[in-house]
Amino acid sequence: GAGVSQTPSNKVTEKGKYVELRCDPISGHTALYWYRQSLGQGPEFLIYFQGTGAADDSGLPNDRFFAVRPEGSVSTLKIQRTERGDSAVYLCASSLMRGETQYFGPGTRLLVL
């Protein structure tokens, strides 16, 4: 069966540009999570969706980061005015519902020059 997919797998952009990262969760999973993993660190929680709504966005570092999940399936993480410090691997995970095991995608490696 299909797992969590993320596109693109790699993204190189210039400082100040806008980027969108896409996550396609496992079909039927209502909960979706975004994490950021910097070099040499564990994943850091960004935001959690239950259905279409962001149930917890306490991990978003600042207002340059925004995420949507308009139809309760695919989610897009949006980063405005990118900074070099945003360079990291952005991971998406989904679970059948809140409280169930999270399954991770392969991540998008973002490099801001």
Partner 1 sequence: AQSVTQPDIHITVSEGASLELRCNYSYGATPYLFWYVQSPGQGLQLLLKYFSGDTLVQGIKGFEAEFKRSQSSFNLRKPSVHWSDAAEYFCAVGVRNNDMRFGAGTRLTVKP
Question: Which positions lie near partner 1, rule CB under 8 A?
Answer: 3-4, 31, 35, 40-45, 48, 56, 58-59, 91, 93, 95, 98-107
The whole-angstrom separation of Cα 64 and Cα 25 is 24
Least distance to partner 1 from the beta carbon of 113, Å?
22
Least distance to partner 1 from the beta carbon of 106, Å?
4
The whole-angstrom separation of Cα 109 and Cα 11 is 6
**Closest to partner 1 by CB, 41 or 80:** 41
Q: Where does 9-52 show beta strands of DSSP type E?
A: 10-13, 19-24, 31-37, 44-50
Least distance to partner 1 from the beta carbon of 30, Å?
13
Q: What angle do CA 102, 51, 45 make, to 5 degrees?
A: 45
**Closest to partner 1 by CB, 55 or 80:** 55
The whole-angstrom separation of Cα 9 and Cα 98 is 26
Least distance to partner 1 from the beta carbon of 44, Å?
7
